[in-house]
Structure 1
């Protein structure tokens, strides 16, 4: 919730509107003269309440419920308008809180909420004129916008993700934040892989897997994604060895979600190598570990299981039914990349089992 470190008539008026009170009712609510509130209304940012009155306004805002806080923040955003060069202290706090909410929304594939929260700040502020803290928040917002577009996975979305990541990387380079730069290099490599540029993605992943700018967890992810790119490129034996190395790191780091995702990718690598029994065993490990599944996790696990089952003629029909289930989840959740991948697998199935011409 918003905290105002320095009240002016502008913030006071926004609070009155957020409380949906008249000037007289607001003055009574604060225990002040109507003339005082009227002065704030006429002079706005050109007048500042006395220190004791600042404390009264702090109390009024602190006692307000969440809906009032939301209206208050929105009103101030609308009042100051777009392209404001220097956010207020409370705006920095709200921006930071909103980015935390975006991370949660993306983990749940709640793309609408994430887009709305990011748009609130990116539509209002541009990098030129922001101070160092503002630049950091702007770059984080831009990077998360890249994640949003990447998760949605449409063809246009991948290009948008690439632009967002490149823009965020430029700002973090300006700030000299080496860790964030390396993380964005990792994200840009993921976009390369999703775009089908497997060899380039694998080379980037290999370099990042030993990059000291990244945390050990991110280096392990890079190593896992080396294996993913190699497996997609048909180099299954090497891919499995690289993935198993990443799995050991995730186990030592106590990262159950990454550990689970790695087993799912390892299952697909074994499927590509023709070892369906081992593939199903690793997939079962992935299904029974980690936290409760998000829509993306359900799509990925269901697609992996379907991919394995449809490889065996005895279970082909079960695999195709699961592909349909995964496609429905992907469509409902707006997961464009996963949906395209499923459709490509289905087309491969149809081509492989097309009846001969007479």
Structure 2
């Protein structure tokens, strides 16, 4: 519930709008003159109602229903970016109906992230993370707060913001601490997995491979997450040049996905296998696996389209006979990545092209 330390014309106007009343109806609601309300609204923060009217406004806000109170807070939060006279009563936390709205918004965030709609996902997360101090939340609120923070980490990771104070690593570590406090081992292990991904993305391949290997046998994780950890062991090993070992690990993960009936993960595994065989110089097998991935993979997600095109272009680029085709595919991946703000993928593609040009010279036009 919100409370106002000192009412000004700014807060009175916000309350009127939140109650969805006209100036005249609001004046009648409070028992004051219409001219008084008009004065408040014209002078905004430059005027303060009399002490007895302050008490009337306190009562009107307290008696407002939950929807009106939320509208009041929302209106004021958008005025000059702050609401200096308004605070939430410490210890009250979210109201019962807000828990449900928060959980529904997090489901919407998951969908938005799968579509790389980062702006919408960020707005939904900010709506809740900026509203509450974790210290005022009960266990249910803390769970939603930690889940929101973990999803913020996913957003930052997909945007390529891996390290630093506003990064995926920072968000994952914060969520990890809250889930540890709540004693939810499965969520803690999932964040261990996310932090291993951050290590891999930041170039710490040996560390990431060891973390993945440990998590692949961790009973806190679901069978699917353990299989994904096993696949990512192979990814880190392949990036580090250990393509033969990586292939064997990835093939084991692929069989796990078959047993679990996880077709999307199985397709991603084919893509990873293709890159491992490319690294080993086996272009025939690389083309075989990437062909399976392209024919079976889901392309609804821009991220997955970029990953598939990047892998396919990288393989084509490795053969002089298909080099120009590879560059065309990579150019397409660049356009998609740029459109959706996939910074990490853009860096990866530019790195592939730069390596190619350093070996054989720039592309002829």
Same fold (TM over 0.5): yes
1:289 partnered with 2:296? yes
Q: 1:317 aligns with which of 315, 324, 337?
A: 324
Deviates most, 70-79 or 268-277:
70-79
Q: 2:219 aligns with which of 189, 207, 212?
A: 212
Residues 85-117 of structure 1, C-alpha deviation per residue, up to 9 Å, x if partnerless? 411111111111111111111000000001111
Instruction: Specify the SS of the correspondent of 1:299.
Output: helix
Give 1:20 shift: 4.0
Residues 102-136 of structure 1, C-alpha deviation per residue, up to 9 Å, x if partnerless? 11110000000011111111112122221111111
Number of the residue aligned with 2:173: 166
Structure 1 gaps of 5+ residues are 5-12, 27-33, 49-56, 62-67
Give 1:35 shift: 5.6
- Given that 2:164 and 2:170 are in contact with CA atoms closer than 8 Å, whether structure 1 keeps it comes out as no
What does 1:134-149 correspond to in 2, within 5 Å? 134-149=141-156
Number of the residue aligned with 2:191: 184
- Given that 1:84 and 1:125 are in contact with CA atoms closer than 8 Å, whether structure 2 keeps it comes out as no
Number of the residue aligned with 2:22: 22
- Given that 1:127 and 1:135 are in contact with CA atoms closer than 8 Å, whether structure 2 keeps it comes out as yes
Number of the residue aligned with 2:42: none
Residues 293-351 of structure 1, C-alpha deviation per residue, up to 9 Å, x if partnerless? 31111110001011000100111111112111111111111011100011111110101
1:350 partnered with 2:357? yes
Q: 1:46 to 1:329 in 2, by over 3 A?
A: closer
Q: 1:350 to 1:143 in 2, by over 3 A?
A: same
What does 1:48-197 correspond to in 2, within 5 Å? 74-75=74-75, 81=87, 85=91, 86-154=93-161, 160-197=167-204
Q: 1:82 to 1:227 in 2, by over 3 A?
A: farther
Number of the residue aligned with 2:39: none
Supply the distance in 1 between the matched residues of 2:110 and 2:336 (Cα, whole angstroms).
Answer: 21
Instruction: Specify the SS of the correspondent of 1:118.
Output: helix
Q: 1:293 to 1:196 in 2, by over 3 A?
A: same
Q: 1:217 to 1:14 in 2, by over 3 A?
A: farther
Give 1:17 shift: 3.8
Instruction: Specify the SS of the correspondent of 1:128.
Output: helix
Q: 2:210 aligns with which of 198, 203, 207?
A: 203
Q: How many residues align?
A: 322
Residues 150-185 of structure 1, C-alpha deviation per residue, up to 9 Å, x if partnerless? 000146579711011111101111101100000000
Supply the distance in 2 between the matched residues of 1:277 and 1:70 (Cα, whole angstroms).
Answer: 61
Instruction: Specify the SS of the correspondent of 1:288.
Output: helix
Q: 1:207 to 1:156 in 2, by over 3 A?
A: closer
- Given that 2:162 and 2:198 are in contact with CA atoms closer than 8 Å, whether structure 1 keeps it comes out as no
Q: 1:226 to 1:161 in 2, by over 3 A?
A: same
| Stretches (4+) displaced over 2 A | 13-26, 34-42, 44-48, 68-85, 154-159, 290-293
TM-score, structure 2 length as denominator?
Answer: 0.79
Number of the residue aligned with 2:261: 254
Deviates most, 69-78 or 271-280:
69-78
Number of the residue aligned with 2:307: 300
Deviates most, 340-349 or 324-333:
324-333
Number of the residue aligned with 2:59: 43
Structure 2 gaps of 5+ residues are 2-12, 33-54
The RMSD of aligned alpha carbons is 3.1
Instruction: Specify the SS of the correspondent of 2:167.
Output: helix
